[in-house]
Amino acid sequence: MPSWAVLVSQAFNGLALGTLLALVSSGLTIILGTLGVLNFAHGALFAVGAYAAFVILQYTQSFGLAIAIGCAFMLVLGFILERLIRLFYDRPHEDQILVTYGVGIVLVEAVRAGFGGNSQRVPLPSWGQGATQLGFLIYPTYRLQLIAIIAALLLSLYLVLYRTSMGLVVRAGIENPGMVGVLGINVRRAFLLVFAIGVVAVGLAGMLYAPVVAVTPDMGANFMAQSFVVIVLGGLGSFPGAVVGGLLAGEIISLTSAFNSAYSEVMLYALMALLLVLRPQGLFGSEGRV
Amino acid sequence: MKGLRSRAWRAHVPELALLFALVAAPVALPHLGFSHDLLTRVLNWGLIGLGFDILFGLTGLLSFGQAAFYGVGGFVTAYLLVSGKLSSVWLALATGTVAAGLFGLVVGWLAVRRIGIYFTMITLAFGQMAYFIENSPLSNYTGGENGIPGIPVPVLGFGAYAIRISAGLPMYVLFAVVFFAGYVLARRIVRSSVGAILFAIKENTGRVALLGHNVPAYKLTAFVIAALYAGLAGGLLGTFQSYMPPDAFSLETSGQLVVQTIVGGAGTLVGPLAGAAVWLWLRDNLQLIPALASLWKFVLGIAFIVLVIGLRRGVCGEIAHWWNERRNLTALRAAEARTEAIEARSGAVVTEPVAPNIDVALALPAPGGRHRGAGRRRGESRGRRPGRCRSAGRGRPSPECRWRPRAGTPDVRPD
């Protein structure tokens, strides 16, 4: 049995990983829910975000500025990619998956061609150095800030989705895109915006996580697989499901590794298998939406 | 009688063509940059592809987790041989294949409950799970990130007459024989009544279910078949390179299989083989060009996107499509000529025997468009399954038979 302090610090690690997974998955889930497209390029976009932070930091030396420029870059990239994905709205899901997978390969290989396959290091921002005394344990400051920043981002995403008229259109689009179109709302434009927001969300996750990990072209692949699990846990196209599922997944991975690190990832997938048997529609999914 | 024999012969054209290609490949292709080892690898990918094509091309289930079964088959075979539990490579291969099939049964049982996007996500997640299980909890057996080295090669015969199948041409021959047997079996599955129902599930799942077929059971069958093929290929990979790498389990492997299948042509069975030839040839030969060394996969990725947008049939699919069009046209011309001949004998009684309209359980619309493998099947079954594609008695195919969906099939959206 691991000690109390280890468990608490792992719980914090789980929170950091969980909020990150929640951000990645919410980007994936709003695209999936609204457009009906499972974005297989999501992992690649995570890596592109991390590399964007790496490059812009070298020129600006300011983490805040790097994030701002990086977001603008991801937004433009999202608009461009939507032009391609648009061709596939009326085609079978398999085709959509294949084309986004192809986009993922191209993005990862473009990054690899530009920066090589070796891992890059992104420095911590000046305001995130050192560790913070939390009474009973000392925890890296940047990770605490990461939790706070992503929580704020998720909150603002929630406000956009649930408190604005644009969010209303998006949520209605998740329920029934055809009906929204019949009501005279430009669904295509809403789709464009949703896709771009999803891309910015995952790009931001990549940028914010870059200082904590080694930045490689393939860094997104495992995140994508985990965020698939999060979506299966949370329910298709459900924003609250993505957030709760993300936190749950992060805690499962971190707390299991406090007991036996060999099983940390396996446990997550085992839970998914269990949920598939007991509650196939996911925690927040409604019956009938397969 | 003569006509019947020629039809029977025609039904086996694909097998004969493949046999010819397998014999000719090691003679002709080394000049084009295909070494015997490369050809063996292509056959190995093609073997997983046979099963995957039954799952994806025929049944329409896109799995991103085939690496799991490839890996299970490979590591079970390798572990049994290296640990000395089994001395016969053949027996170990069979055990590995069965183990992969059992794992496929478990994963498939969970995965076929969901359709479309969910199915793909779940198979991918289980693929990752298998990777992590191999990597950590079972690393005492699998070697973790190091894999299992020192796998013996297969031996043919007994005692003094035993032949060790060494690397190079002998190994190619072994893989070619296994692939050919796998292909004949896969084609039998595709052309069987089970194959017809699997294809019907792809075309219209709801209708198959309404007709009383147990759709999940059929999907599970396809899933297990795909897992068995992948397991056998995994085991063979280990004996071929005498080392079982952990990347067999990686997401990259599953993705590569999907890309190869699309490039070569889904629904053709040999499509994944052709796709593997393109992929591996590009990898080995573009890397020799210094400017392109790091860009070969980038080029392939762009080609893949273009293929998905425009040419969904892939290399083999286009060939099969051209072949079918030509044959349909000939059949149509012959039918029209016969009609004219009958009409010329005005008033004469139509003597052509009217095929009894037996309605088999499935009243399918004639497949067409991009589903090549089944299109060929339809052509061959003409006359044998009269209920399906014949108007009453006249040789001319019914309008339904000539119907072609324009952009794929009507999509039954799950949500």
For the segment A162-195, what is each residue's pLDDT rounded down to a tens digit? Answer: 899 888 887 887 777 788 889 988 888 888 888 9
Q: Residue A244: inside a domain, yes or no?
A: no
Number of domains into which chain A is organized: 1
Contacts of residue B62 in chain A, CB cutoff 8 Å? 93-94, 97-98
Q: Residue B310: inside a domain, yes or no?
A: no
pLDDT over 70, % of chain B:
81
Confidence (pLDDT) at B377: 42
Q: Which of B113, B262, B301 sits opposite A106 (nearest CB)?
A: B301
B73 and B116 together in one domain: yes
Q: Which of B114, B129, B136 sits opposite A290 (nearest CB)?
A: B114
CATH number, domain of B152, equals 1.10.3470
Q: Residue A259: inside a domain, yes or no?
A: no
Confidence (pLDDT) at A67: 92
Confidence (pLDDT) at A123: 87
Examine the pLDDT at B98 and tell me if it is beyond 90: yes
pTM of the predicted structure, to 2 decimals: 0.82
Q: How confident is the model at residue B369 (pLDDT cuts 50, 70, 90)?
A: very low
B353 and B281 together in one domain: no
Examine the pLDDT at B389 and tell me if it is beyond 60: no
B200 contacts B362 by C-beta, under 8 angstroms:
yes
Distances (CA, A) of B225 to A185, B50, B105, B274, B396: 47, 9, 9, 21, 38
Confidence (pLDDT) at A130: 82
A247 contacts A22 by C-beta, under 8 angstroms:
yes
B190 and B246 together in one domain: yes
Confidence (pLDDT) at B350: 53
List, for residues B204-224, the tens digit of each pLDDT value.
Answer: 999 999 999 999 999 999 999
What is the span of the domain harbouring residue A142?
22-219
Q: Nearest CA to CA, how far is A181 from chain B (Å)? A: 17
- B131: nearest CA partner in chain A: A266
CB–CB contact B118 A97 (8 Å): no
List of long-range contacts for B353-361, beta carbons under 8 Å, 24+ apart: B354/B392, B354/B393, B355/B383, B355/B386, B355/B390, B355/B393, B356/B386, B357/B386, B357/B387, B357/B390, B357/B392, B358/B386, B358/B387, B359/B387, B360/B385, B360/B387, B360/B388, B361/B211, B361/B212, B361/B213
CB–CB contact A269 B262 (8 Å): no
Q: Which of B136, B304, B309 sits opposite A262 (nearest CB)?
A: B136
B284 and B327 together in one domain: no
List A residues 102-131 in contact with B (Cβ-Cβ < 8 A).
Answer: 102-103, 105-106, 109-110, 112-113, 116
Contacts of residue B308 in chain A, CB cutoff 8 Å? 95, 98-99, 102
Give mean pLDDT, residues A116-128.
86
Q: Residue A226: inside a domain, yes or no?
A: no
B98 contacts B272 by C-beta, under 8 angstroms:
no
List, for residues B338-359, the tens digit of each pLDDT value.
Answer: 989 888 886 555 555 555 555 4
Q: Residue A290: inside a domain, yes or no?
A: no
Global ipTM: 0.86
What is the span of the domain harbouring residue B137?
11-297
Q: Nearest CA to CA, how far is B37 from chain A (Å)? A: 26
Examine the pLDDT at A204 and tell me if it is beyond 90: yes
Examine the pLDDT at B407 and tell me if it is beyond 50: no
Confidence (pLDDT) at B4: 56
Q: Residue A258: inside a domain, yes or no?
A: no
Q: Nearest CA to CA, how far is A280 from chain B (Å)? A: 8
Range with lowest mean pLDDT among A113-122, B25-34, B153-162: B153-162
CB–CB contact A106 B298 (8 Å): yes
Q: Nearest CA to CA, how far is A117 from chain B (Å)? A: 10
Domain stops at, among B248, B269, B297: B297
A33 contacts A177 by C-beta, under 8 angstroms:
no
Q: Residue A239: inside a domain, yes or no?
A: no
Confidence (pLDDT) at B283: 85
B333 and B249 together in one domain: no
How big is the A-B interface in CB pairs under 8 Å?
135
Confidence (pLDDT) at B353: 55
List the single best residue of A80, A91, A105, A179 to mutate versus B (max B Cβ within 10 A): A105
Examine the pLDDT at B67 and tell me if it is beyond 90: yes
What secondary structure, in 3-state letters, does B350-385 show?
CCCCCCCCCCCCCCCCCCCCCCHHHHHHHHHCCCCC
B354 contacts B392 by C-beta, under 8 angstroms:
yes
B157 and B237 together in one domain: yes
B198 and B323 together in one domain: no
B257 and B286 together in one domain: yes
Q: Nearest CA to CA, how far is A269 from chain B (Å)? A: 6
Give mean pLDDT, residues B271-295.
84
CB–CB contact B133 A266 (8 Å): yes
Supply angle C-alpha B376, B379, B381, rounded to 5: 110
List, for residues A249-259, the tens digit of each pLDDT value.
Answer: 999 999 998 88
List, for residues B10-24, the tens digit of each pLDDT value.
Answer: 778 888 989 999 998
| Rounded Cα–Cα distance for residues B167 and B18 (Å) | 23
Q: Which of A99, A113, A262 sits opposite B308 (nearest CB)?
A: A99
Give mean pLDDT, residues B177-195.
95
Contacts of residue A262 in chain B, CB cutoff 8 Å? 136-137, 139
Q: How confident is the model at residue B391 (pLDDT cuts 50, 70, 90)?
A: very low
CB–CB contact A105 B294 (8 Å): no
pLDDT over 70, % of chain A:
98
CB–CB contact B301 A94 (8 Å): no
List, for residues B219-240, the tens digit of each pLDDT value.
Answer: 999 999 999 999 999 999 999 9
A78 contacts B270 by C-beta, under 8 angstroms:
no
B253 and B340 together in one domain: no
Confidence (pLDDT) at B76: 95
Examine the pLDDT at A7 and tell me if it is beyond 70: yes
Mean residue pLDDT across chain B: 82
Q: How confident is the model at residue B411 (pLDDT cuts 50, 70, 90)?
A: very low
- B57: nearest CA partner in chain A: A94
Q: Residue B54: inside a domain, yes or no?
A: yes
Token output for B195: 């194959």
Give mean pLDDT, residues A125-135.
82
Contacts of residue A228 in chain B, CB cutoff 8 Å? 121, 124-125
- B297: nearest CA partner in chain A: A109
Range with lowest mean pLDDT among B145-154, B290-299, B406-415: B406-415
Q: Which of B121, B309, B407 sits opposite A231 (nearest CB)?
A: B121
Number of domains into which chain B is organized: 2
CB atoms within 10 A of CB A21: 27
List, for residues A60-95, the tens digit of each pLDDT value.
Answer: 888 899 999 999 999 999 999 999 998 888 888 888
B212 and B357 together in one domain: no
Confidence (pLDDT) at B249: 92
CB–CB contact B305 A231 (8 Å): no
Distances (CA, A) of A97 to A23, A37, A85, B41, B92: 21, 7, 10, 27, 36
If one compares B46 and B385, the residue with the highest pLDDT of the two is B46
Range with lowest mean pLDDT among B324-328, B337-341, B359-363: B359-363
Q: Which amino acid is located at B147 in the chain?
A: G
Q: Which of B124, B136, B413 sits opposite A263 (nearest CB)?
A: B136
List, for residues B101-129, the tens digit of each pLDDT value.
Answer: 999 999 999 888 787 788 888 898 899 99
Token output for A9: 């610090």
Confidence (pLDDT) at A129: 83
Q: How confident is the model at residue B284 (pLDDT cuts 50, 70, 90)?
A: confident
CB–CB contact A91 B411 (8 Å): yes
Distances (CA, A) of B343 to A108, B118, B290: 65, 56, 69
If one compares B310 and B187, the residue with the highest pLDDT of the two is B187
Q: How confident is the model at residue A36 (pLDDT cuts 50, 70, 90)?
A: confident
B60 and B119 together in one domain: yes
Confidence (pLDDT) at B356: 54
Q: Residue B306: inside a domain, yes or no?
A: no
Q: Residue A149: inside a domain, yes or no?
A: yes
- A32: nearest CA partner in chain B: B117
Distances (CA, A) of B55 to B42, B172, B222, B226: 20, 26, 5, 6
